[in-house]
Structure 1
């Protein structure tokens, strides 16, 4: 019988992709980039994405703050597209403010939290940035559902490190076998939960093939399935 449910946040409960695109387009419009000769939104996105991913993935090792990740990403993108890189700082600042106040929710997320809240203690384990994650949850009216939030830049631990999962289990005062973790990433979520001895529910909204190396306890394609699983099971 599970006594606590933990969730990943981005692309599990909150739609990171939609939030990013929404904030990005509004920031670009605010700074009037579409008025520049030769500017194309699709080209900007295609150039920005791999640059931003590189800076983001290296941020811990290189000790780069999120503000620098964004500044460098916008700077390099503008340079590559042949535009004035001095726009990068104000563009990054505007984007971050907009992103932190933008909350697109994954389908079924609100309903599943309502159904579980009060029946299970709920928590978050996220590799995101605390300022953004807390603000987005508040914007979406979802922050009150959670007893504990474990956000990597606040606790100094990153999934799939089992230590962040162990910390969450200790906070709830339960055994590892009494916790279910729900997430969309086999690399970060499954590996971290498995190494900590926590059952993992793979939120596989796109119906991807997991591969033989991954054996989640459960797999769901919609969040509504989670409440059904918990309601009918005597794990």
Structure 2
């Protein structure tokens, strides 16, 4: 049993992917009369990038929208940033279960003015002894330094810690570089797209509990 379990936030504890799709749909909807075209444009937007709005003009232009429409869509998206954002149904239960047997913490990439309101909305800050937001500490995953910072805060060695995250780019290689075991949460059920695979692969947080020998 690890002494420290560190969690990612987006697409690990909360469903950022679904929220992103809902926000893009809300942003694009006024500029489409055809539901099929709207659905295709939303899918293209979220497939091309799970963050940001810089690709909105190019996508909307394909469907006859002008630069003014693209700017209006961007404004609608930014003003509605947290539409549909919710914790996964097993997130709170998992956090409470692992807290009974190990220390916990969170490391999340992103701007502080986006990630902190997200944490506040989800009402989870009080559950974690510490939360490291990349912009706030000046280090971004997969830099192992942010993982080392978390280990130092917890006072626990890397070999006694695991990191749970969804990103094959930021989470798994970063944790491994820091000397921790990595747990890849693969909600989409895709094949591992990276180089060195994770130590453990799970489909949801209930499987994390099972991998730790805890009852879901």
Fold match (TM-score > 0.5): yes
Which residue number in structure 1 is paired with residue 164 of structure 2? 182
Q: How does 1:87-126 map to 2 (within 5 A)?
A: 87-100=69-82, 102-117=84-99, 119-126=101-108
Higher helix share: 1
How far off its partner does 1:15 sit?
A: 1.1
Aligned-pair CA distance for 1:231: 4.5
Tell me the residue number matched to 1:48.
45
Partner in structure 2 of residue 141 of structure 1: 123
The farther-off stretch of 208-217 and 73-82 is 208-217
When normalised by structure 1's length, the TM-score is 0.76
RMSD: 2.8
Runs of 4+ in 1 over 6 A off after TM superposition: none
Aligned equivalents of 2:153 and 2:43: distance in 1?
41
Structure 1 position 224 matched with structure 2 position 206: yes
Once residues 100 and 173 of structure 1 are traced to their aligned partners in structure 2, the CA distance between those partners, rounded to angstroms, is 34
* TM superposition shift of 1:14: 1.2
**Cα separation, 1, equivalents of 2:134 and 2:161:** 19
Aligned length: 214
Q: What SS does the aligned partner of 2:14 have?
A: coil
Stretch deviating more after TM superposition (173-182 or 137-146): 137-146
For structure 2, list consecutive stretches of 5 or more residues without a partner in the other structure.
none
Could you tell me how far apart the structure 2 residues matched to 1:52 and 1:201 are? 23
User: Residue deviations 1:4-31, cap 9 Å, x none?
Assistant: 21112221111111011112222334xx
Residue pair 2:169, 2:194 contacting (<8 A) in 1 also: no
